[in-house]
Amino acid sequence: MPDFVHLHVHSEYSLLDGMCRIKDLPKRAKELGMKAIALTDHGVMYGAVNFYKECVKEGIKPIIGCEVYVAPRSRLNKDAGIDDEYAHLILLAKNKEGYQNLIKLVSISFTEGYYYKPRIDLEILEKYHEGLICLSACLAGSINKAILKDNLEEAKKIALWHKNLFGEDYYLEIQNNGLPEQVMVNQKLISLSKELNIPLVGTNDAHYLKKEDSYNHEILLCIQTAKKIHDEDRMKFETDEFYIKSPEEMADYFSAVPEAIENTVKIADKCNFEFEFGVTKLPNYDVPKEFKTHEEYFRKLTWDGIEERYGKDYDETIKNRAEYELGIISKMGYVDYYLIVWDYIHYAKSVGIPVGPGRGSGAGSIVAYAIGITDIDPLKYNLLFERFLNPDRISMPDFDVDFSDERRQEVIDYVAEKYGRDHVSQIITFGTMSAKSVIRDVGRVLDVPYSDVDKLAKMIPFEIGITIDKALEENREFKDLYENDEVTKNIIDIARGLEGMPRNASTHACRSCYN
C-alpha cells in the first residue's frame, strides 16, 4: 500500500460547507492506513485543538493548517465588485513559529481584512510566513484562476513570487476531484512544476468522509445558501469525489506523477508542531510595592477579608478552611488568577456596576468569599471547595461572574486597558444544528410541505441534549412514522447525518485573559 497523507481537508468548522466531523477524521485516516492527516478549514482554526487531541488519541499525526482567503489587492481595500474576488491558499504549520504565524495571519484576516470573508494579503503573508508550508490550493487558488483565464504568464509570476518567499516549502497542488477544469489545470501545473522547478503535491480537497456522504453534503450547502435541492441556480459540487480517499485511489490517479504522492509524506514529516497542554499562562498582576510576593499580598487580602466577613473572633473551622484553600491555590499556581478576578470585580463594585453574588463551583471557595469575588458563604451552605479546585483534577478554575448588561462593557474595557488588549480575547460560541432545527432545515431543502415538517419536528421531546436517535426511542409515533413513511425516513436519515454540526459562530458575552 502506498504512503499518502491528506493535506487539504475541511471539517464541520468550515461552517455549513465542510462535513468531516473532527472526531471521525483520524479514525478514518487510521482505517485507510494513513499515519497523518491535516486540517485546513476555510479561513478559520476553530477546530485545531480538538483535532489535535483526537489525532493523538488515535495515534495519527496531526497537521494544523488553514485554507486562507487572499485579497486580490490589499486586505485593507474593500471596494464592491473588486475586493470580494478573493483567492484560496493552503498554509500548514511546520513548527511552533509556524503555528504562531498562522494564528497571527488568521487573526489579522478577521480584524483587518474582513470583507465578505476573512482575508489576508501578500504583504502580511510575507511578514508572517516563517515556519509555514504553502500549497497553491484548489481551482479557487490564484495560480489556477490565472490558468483558467489562459493567462500562463500571470500564473508563472504568482508561482515564482510564492517560491521566492517559501523556497522548498512551496508546492503546486494538483487534485483528484473529477472536474474537467481540474484535469486541464493539473496538466498546466505539471508543466509549470518542471519549468519552474517547483514540486507537486496531490490532494483531494475533502469536504466529507466517504463518497456516499456527498448527497448529505449537497443538503448542507443548500442549508448554507437558503436554497432547495431542486433549484437550478444553487451552489453545488459537480462531482461526488470530494471525500477522504484511500492512498490507493490517490496513487492510482496520480500514477504519472508519483512524486505528488510521495511529497505528501515528505510534507507530513516536516510538520512537527505539538500543543503544550497543562501550562497556565496569565497576565501579570502588579501587587503594591510594599509586598515582596504576589502570595504575600494575596494572603493579606484573604485574612483582612475573613475578619470583615466573620469578625475578628472567627473560629478554627474558618481558619482551617481558609489555610487549606490558600495552600491549594498556591500549590496549583492560581494566586494571580484569584488576584485578577478580584481586581476587576473590585473595580466594578467601586464604580457602582452591579455584580452577581457568584454562580457555579466558585461559590465553594471561602477565599473567594473573603476577598469579595463571591458573596455566598460556603460554610453556611456546606459548599465544597474541591468542586472548584482539586489537585487531583488539573484544570483551569472558572469563576462565573455576572455583570449588569448595561455596563458590562466598562468592565471589559477596564481589563483590556489594565492587562493589555493583546492579553484579552473574546470567547467564541457556536450555534449547532439541534434535533428539531435540523429536521426543519432538511425538510425545507427537500421542499416538503411546512405543515408536515413542523409536525415532525414537534415530535422531538423538549429535553436538554435531546438527539434524533433518542427521540426515536422515546416517541413511538415518531418511530412509526420513520419506519412506515418514506418521506419521513429520508428526512430523518439525512438529518441524523447533519445533526450537531456547527451552524454559525458568535461572540460569548464574556472574555478571558491569557498571556
328 in the same domain as 401: yes
Domain count for the chain: 3
Q: What is the mean pLDDT of residues 277-283?
A: 78
Residue 230 has pLDDT above 50, yes or no: yes
Closest CA to 188 of 177, 203, 173: 173
Share of the chain above pLDDT 70, in %: 99
376 and 414 assigned to the same domain: yes
Q: Rounded to whole angstroms, how far apart are CA atoms 265 and 215?
A: 31
> Looking at the domain assignment, is residue 511 inside a domain?
no
For residues 305 and 255, state if they share a domain: no
In this structure, the answer to whether residues 315 and 343 fall within a common structural domain is yes
For position 513, what pLDDT does the model report? Answer: 44
> What does each C-alpha distance from 460 to 438, 440, 477 come to in angstroms?
11, 11, 10
CB 91 within 8 A of CB 171: no
CA-to-CA distance for 40 and 10, rounded, in angstroms? 6
Task: Give the pLDDT confidence of 57-80 residue by residue, as tens digits.
Answer: 999 999 999 999 999 999 999 999
**Sequence-distant contacts of 390-397: CB under 8 A, at least 24 apart:** 390/328, 391/328, 391/331, 391/332, 394/278, 394/332, 396/280, 396/337, 397/334, 397/337, 397/362
Residues 170, 37 share a domain: yes
For the stretch 314-373, pLDDT in tens is: 999 999 999 999 999 999 889 999 999 999 999 999 999 999 998 889 999 999 999 999
Q: State the residue for C-alpha cell 471525500.
A: 243
Residue 411 confidence (pLDDT) above 90: yes
What's the CA gap between 258 and 197, in Å, rounded? Answer: 16
Helix or strand (DSSP H, E) at 171: strand 170-175
Is residue 431 within a helix (H) or strand (E), and if so which, with residue range?
strand 424-432
Q: What is the pLDDT of residue 280?
A: 73
pLDDT confidence tier of residue 486, bands split at 50, 70 and 90 = very high
Question: In terms of domains, do 173 and 30 share one?
Answer: yes
Verify that 349 and 313 share a domain, yes or no.
yes
Q: Could you tell me if 171 and 31 lie in one domain?
A: yes
In a domain, 471, yes or no: yes
Alpha helices (runs of H) in 197-310, residue ranges in sequence order: 214-225, 247-253, 259-270, 294-310
446 and 326: one domain?
Answer: no
Say what the pLDDT of residue 509 is: 66
**DSSP designation for 286:** -
Residue where the block lists cell 505539471: 190
Residue 12 has pLDDT above 90, yes or no: yes
CATH number at residue 59: 3.20.20.140
Is the predicted pLDDT of residue 512 greater than 70, yes or no? no
Q: How many CB atoms lie within 10 A of CB 123?
A: 12
What distance in Å separates the CA atoms of residue 144 and residue 137, rounded to the nearest whole number?
A: 8
Q: Is the dihedral of CA 178, 183, 40, 6 positive or negative?
A: positive
d(CA 412, CA 324): 32
126 domain residue, yes or no? no
Calculate the alpha carbon distances from 187 to 136, 155, 256, 258, 355 in Å: 15, 13, 11, 14, 65
Distance CA(492)–CA(309), nearest Å, equals: 57
The stretch 1-5 carries a mean pLDDT of: 90
Residues 373-396 have pLDDT tens digits of 999 999 999 999 999 998 887 778
Sign for the CA dihedral angle at 72, 74, 79, 80 comes to positive
User: What is the tens place of the pLDDT at every residue in 173-187?
Assistant: 999 999 999 999 999
Check residue 510 and give its pLDDT: 64
In a domain, 11, yes or no: no
Q: What is the model's pLDDT at position 390?
A: 86
Residue 465 has pLDDT above 50, yes or no: yes
Query: Considering the domain boundaries, does residue 279 fall inside one?
Result: no
Tell me, yes or no, whether 443 lies in a domain. yes
Are the CB atoms for 358 and 401 separated by under 8 Å?
Answer: yes
Average pLDDT, integer, range 152-174: 98
Place of cell 490550493: 137
Q: Are residues 172 and 34 in the same domain?
A: yes
pTM over 0.85: yes
Q: Which residues span the domain enclosing 457?
A: 434-499
- Answer yes or no: is 220 within a domain: yes
**Is there a single domain that holds both residue 446 and residue 389?**
no
Do 42 and 173 belong together in one domain? yes
Q: What is the pLDDT of residue 514?
A: 42
- What is the predicted pLDDT for the residue at 211? 96
Would you mind telling me the total number of residues written for the chain in this entry? Answer: 515
Question: Distance (Å, rounded) from C-alpha 501 to C-alpha 184?
Answer: 35
* pLDDT at residue 515, rounded to an integer: 42
- Assess if residue 203 is contained within a domain: no
Contact call for residues 335 and 267 (beta carbons, < 8 A): no
pLDDT, greater one: 477 or 464: 477
Each residue's pLDDT tens digit, 413-446 = 999 999 988 888 878 899 999 999 999 999 999 9
At 415, phi and psi to the nearest 5? -65, -45
pLDDT at residue 359 in the model: 86
